[in-house]
Structure 1
Amino acid sequence: MDTNIAIITDIHGNDAALEAVLDDINRQPISHIYCLGDLLGIGYQSNEVLQRLTTRQGVTFVKGNHDQAILDIWNGKEPESEGKEKVHHQWIAKNVDPSFQSFLEGMPMEQYAEYNGKTFLFRHYHLDKNLRFLPIDPEPSSNKLDQVYENVEADVVLFGHHHILHHFKSNQRLYVNPGSLGCSYQAKAPYACITIKADGGIDVCLKEVPYNQDAFIKGFEERKVPDRESILRIFYGQ
């Protein structure tokens, strides 16, 4: 029988957008959700996002770079972030409920799954042999992605991190990044629905769900989020 899964990524502390997307998912025959990292950072609704996702059944997670930065701070390590980004991460770490630490620690860097004979790989972004994130490729292509994943046994690779949509099909495999759910210039939250047919065929539906972005953006000033001017300009076009 056909199987339907949903892909969400880069929520970045935007519970308003997440709530809208999950409401949309609830209206569809989705059997499982894959969350591809960066639940935290940028936005200020970290606890709400974590509470909403950790109390929901049928969600599989991988860890993002912002999630790791918060963990590094909690564990007394120096995060990879610097300057204003580091100050922002320190603010996030101070405000996230520490009861979520064990959940965040337990998120792996990658997950595999198989549906109707097709192998799926889920990552936050492309990794080197030491499981460190590669630099973002500003001009991705199917050929470049095939080179990155040439030694990987997977029919479909799902990822995030780069906040724009990726949808590439090569002779080797399918690549999909639905774009950042929580960071967009428009008041719409993107995610992907993937149908794996009984015969192994794959359909991808890219969706955008409207939400009240104005109220979310006002919260940056109300909460005095560090570096909010740069965040709103870079990630929300304000």
Structure 2
Amino acid sequence: MNLTPSPSLRKIAMFTGIVEEIGTILVANTGLERDNTLRIGCTLATSDAQLGDSIAVNGVCLTVTAFAADWFEVGLAPETLRRTNLGQLKVGSSVNLERALAAGRRMGGHYVQGHVDGTGEIIAIEPDGESKAITIRVAPALMRYIVEKGFIAVDGTSLTITRTTDDSFGLAIIAHTQAWAIIGQQQVGDTVNIEVDILAKYVENIVRFDRKMLAE
């Protein structure tokens, strides 16, 4: 087990929403007053790991606090447990894993920060040939950032929105994504982490600022 701090901890991380590996929860210490942790079994995610590295777990950017050849540990802040589905994980649960984007690596999905905005609930799953049509309900406050054909990260997976309603959005999940991300395993009623496209937030803030300036 490696507990030696990295000589140069990475302070900034970004992700692409392309899941590298599905990990398995080995230990889940959550619901505690302090020292909430997860130990996650994996192979690829620890192949070049250092203490302090950032890894997205179900789309949540977390810091590696210990690792070995086939597992790593992360700490969970109370805010993380309140805002995400990580507090619901149990031993044996599957999670999406993605290491922080490295220089020279392709940007295959979209810019994902690993800062989850909230959770959604899967309310429908329908077969569509080899694909699945999945509908997810979210809080109305998030729907303002969700547009048809736009990007969204669901449990850290970069996906394209196929349709929207006042309180939900749809996704078309191809066979490859079903095999390589946990969305292929999920059922109606499951809670998923949602990160909306950061560009939508920037646009909203610019418009709000401009309106404020014009009003003065």
Q: TM-score, normalised by structure 2?
A: 0.29
Higher relative contact order (CA 8 A, sep 6+): 1
More strand per residue: 2
